[in-house]
Amino acid sequence: MRRILRWAVRLAAGLVLLLLVAAGLLAAALWHTLPGGSHSATIAGLAQGATVELDEHAIPRIRAASQRDAAAVLGYLHARERLFQMDMMRRAASGELSEIAGEATLPTDRLMRIIGLRQSAERDAAALDPETRAMLEAYASGVNAWITARGRFSAAEFLPLGAPRPWTVVDSLLWAKTMGLYLSANWRTELARAQGHKAPWPPTGSTAAPHAALNPALAETAGRLAALLPRFPDPFTLPASASNAWAVDGRHSATGAPLLAGDPHLGFSLPGIWYLARIDTPEGTLAGATAPGVPFVVMGHNGRIAWSFTTNGADVQDLFVETPISSQGLGGPTLYLGPEGPRPFVLREERIRIRGREDEILKVRETRHGPVISDLAAPNGPILAVAMANLAPGDTSAAGLLALNRAPDRAAAGLAAERINGLVQNMTVADRRGIALYVTGRVPLRRAGNGTHPAPGADGSHDWQGWATGAQLPRITDPPSGRVLNANERVAGPDFPVFLGQDWNDDLRARRARELLEATPKHTLETFAAMQVDTLSVFARDTLPRLLAITPTEDLPRRAHALLRGWDGTMRADAPQPLIFHAWMQAFARGLGTGEGGAPWWHHASHALSPHGAAWCGGEEHCTALLRQSLNEALPALAASYGPDPAQWRWGTAHQAVFAHPLLRFIKQLDFLSTLRVPIGGDGTTLLRANTGRTTDAVHGAGYRAVYDLADLDRSRFIATPGQSGHVLLATARTLAPLWQEGTLLPLPARPAQITTRIIITPEPTP
């Protein structure tokens, strides 16, 4: 018996030792994936040496002999801090996520393979001008220097996956392609209309009732397709509308020079989309938001101008119903009807590798309008092809961003805007002398129709005939008011000579920004920064009189309703009223039965409660009844979650900005590392954008904020969230989140006050 006990003790000790050794090896491997402190590195193709100084938040100051060398250094830093994020971006755009994530990401991979985002980027790469190609190649050299030095230790996530493949010029082009795809989502709205839903974006003044589906077969295909498509906030997707920007000229600033503020609104994540950097070369200074994957400052200043972007909302995607005319061959029809007669589908096969199971072969058909997207859902049903402006040949967005980074003034920025043609955005610009707004991208000129419904594809009646771009699109230069602003609302009226679209976002945030801009005679960096975190909801303020006219009869609704009296519509994190208001209005919006189509719920609710929107409720009396019913339905769930006393409820308890790792978030045991929650005020209608998804969590907002002083651009202030690093074990992955939460912005002087890391980069010796 003693012998057995001795062997048992030895076995247990051996197992413990093995576990300790395994834990030690894992800890050593994870330690080796950390980016490390001060060091030296070499990059192939670098012309001269460069230095990098990182401050306590890991924000770099890059000094290089040229912008091309700086691009290589930025690529090295992006890889050092965010290589896994970069790899996920190119995998998502290329339809390669399932190779590491399994079946969960198959819908995204199928969509990207059918749309052909990577093929479009490859075509654009072949047509790059020499200077832009040189910048992208230099950037790729910097990324690959990190990969070569670290291999599978390039980031912690690569430990089980193996070393990432080298970075390429095409990979960098995929970033803008992804933005262009998701920030122009009108084809999803067309799918909703094809199903017979109410118009997902009711135009102001509309009294129209829901239209009928075009035909039952098309409605069924549209419904099945819409159900399969990934949509925000699913992993690796983006919201369709985003961002605030405003500027004033010297008449309205304390310095006598223009001021500009910008905060793009995209999905929250860990790490965030943006990486702060300052770059100094003999050619000048660049400072602001860079995007891991590309070598340019996407939003920021170059020492002479400052700029920011907001989504325009123009309709640059159309669905076409194609007519098959042959059933020969495997997999369905091989011919379809065009204006000149029969045409063959362009056919290709895509092999999707899937972790844990055999590969999937996806058959892709394309027509003269674009890829057949309906094959995702119903290969034998009505044929829907999608035309997308950002998939068309001739995308010069990379060259446009390079030109913008080098622009000496507003006029040059306007010329650069014309070359950023892969996505339609409003670009707000300021230089020392004035302010402007230019629209980037290209808008299709339709032979007929307005792009709101799937159009017939056979006869060419609704074909695109060319583009409106540059000066043909809206632009504002030095307006008499001395103010320019945009918060995704319509930038041109219905009488504008180019038809831009019919489905426009609301102007709620723009109205609040205009109020605040006009309320202060002389603005400063501080007043602009305060505007960015303003939490008053114009939607709530305007809707409250209608809500207060309701007389609840039950106890809980009566007590909650009483709290709304005297409330001004400010979405404070420490108040109960925003939680009551949101629950009530979301229940009301569900009661409207608007279906899926991309429009936010408050757009439907505010329209239905407006003087001209009663038809959406089925009449004024029905609206009142629905409001009373919605209040009764919404509150019990709040009481169950937050207690029986509405006065003790807090918006910030339910409404928290959630920053989550795209893959580790699904491992419960790692939640403490992979997810950061920050209580926050605001909502989807406030300047402090903190938009909810399928819960009350804030999943969409300003991951980057900046204010720029054109009197001295070195006084400009910046913040990104949650942090600079993508390594979940590092504090610098989260250190910016508390500053962002409280509305603090940071300067980016040439030399940081505190240098925590210094990197010396030299050219790789020639053999």
Per residue in 702-759, pLDDT (tens digit) is: 999 999 999 999 999 999 999 999 999 999 999 999 999 999 999 999 999 999 999 9
- pLDDT tier at 127 (50, 70, 90 boundaries)? very high
- pLDDT tier at 212 (50, 70, 90 boundaries)? very low
Please name every residue paired with 309 in a beta bridge, in sequence order, or none if there are none.
427
Q: What is the pLDDT of residue 476?
A: 96
Beta pairing, strands 690-692 & 698-702: antiparallel
Query: What are the tokens at 674?
Result: 């992979």
Closest CA to 355 of 161, 106, 109, 100: 100
Q: What is the pLDDT of residue 472?
A: 96
Query: What are the tokens at 172?
Result: 């960098």
In three-state secondary structure terms, 486 is strand
How many CA atoms, within 13 angstroms, populate the side-chain half-sphere of residue 742? 7
pTM: 0.93
Q: Do 762 and 46 touch, CB atoms closer than 8 A?
A: yes
Please name every residue paired with 720 in a beta bridge, in sequence order, or none if there are none.
704
Q: Do 65 and 50 touch, CB atoms closer than 8 A?
A: yes
* Mean of all residue pLDDT scores within the chain: 90
Residue 525 and residue 336: Cα distance in Å, rounded?
Answer: 59
In three-state secondary structure terms, 705 is strand
Q: Do 714 and 283 touch, CB atoms closer than 8 A?
A: no
pLDDT at 419 over 90: yes
Alpha-helical segments (H) within 549-657: 555-563, 577-592, 601-609, 620-642, 651-654
pLDDT at 205 over 80: no
pLDDT at 31 over 70: yes
Q: Which helix (H) or strand (E) holds 363?
A: strand 360-366
Mean pLDDT value of segment 89-118? 94
Q: What is the pLDDT of residue 203?
A: 47
Closest CA to 732 of 335, 276, 121, 314: 276
Q: What is the pLDDT of residue 594?
A: 61
Would the CA dihedral through 587, 592, 594, 595 be positive or negative?
positive
* Site of tokens 């135009």: 203
At 492-539, the pLDDT tens digits run 988 999 999 988 888 999 999 999 999 999 999 999 999 999 999 999
DSSP output for 375-441 = GGT-TTS-EEEEEEGGGSS---HHHHHHHHHH--SHHHHHHHHHH--SS-EEEEEEESS-EEEEE-S
Residue 221 and residue 228: Cα distance in Å, rounded?
Answer: 11
Say which amino acid occupies 726: G
Mean pLDDT value of segment 280-304? 98
Residue 202 and residue 197: Cα distance in Å, rounded?
Answer: 11
Percent of the chain with pLDDT strictly greater than 70: 92
Q: What is the pLDDT of residue 456?
A: 93
Q: What is the pLDDT of residue 522?
A: 97
Percent of the chain with pLDDT strictly greater than 90: 73
Mean pLDDT value of segment 288-304? 98
3-class secondary structure per residue, 78-111:
HHHHHHHHHHHHHHHHHCCCHHHHHHHHHHHHHH
Instruction: Please give the DSSP secondary-structure letter assigned to residue 449.
Output: S
Beta pairing, strands 39-43 & 757-763: parallel
If one compares 380 and 134, the residue with the highest pLDDT of the two is 134
Residue 331 zone, left/alpha/beta (φ > 0; ψ -120 to 50; rest): left
Q: What is the pLDDT of residue 433?
A: 97
Say which amino acid occupies 219: A
Give the Å distances, CA to CA, from 719 to 53, 268, 497, 746, 767.
18, 14, 39, 6, 43
Mean pLDDT value of segment 176-201? 77
| Range from 234-243, 430-439, 551-560 carrying the lowest mean pLDDT | 234-243
At 610-642, the pLDDT tens digits run 877 777 777 888 888 899 999 999 999 999 999
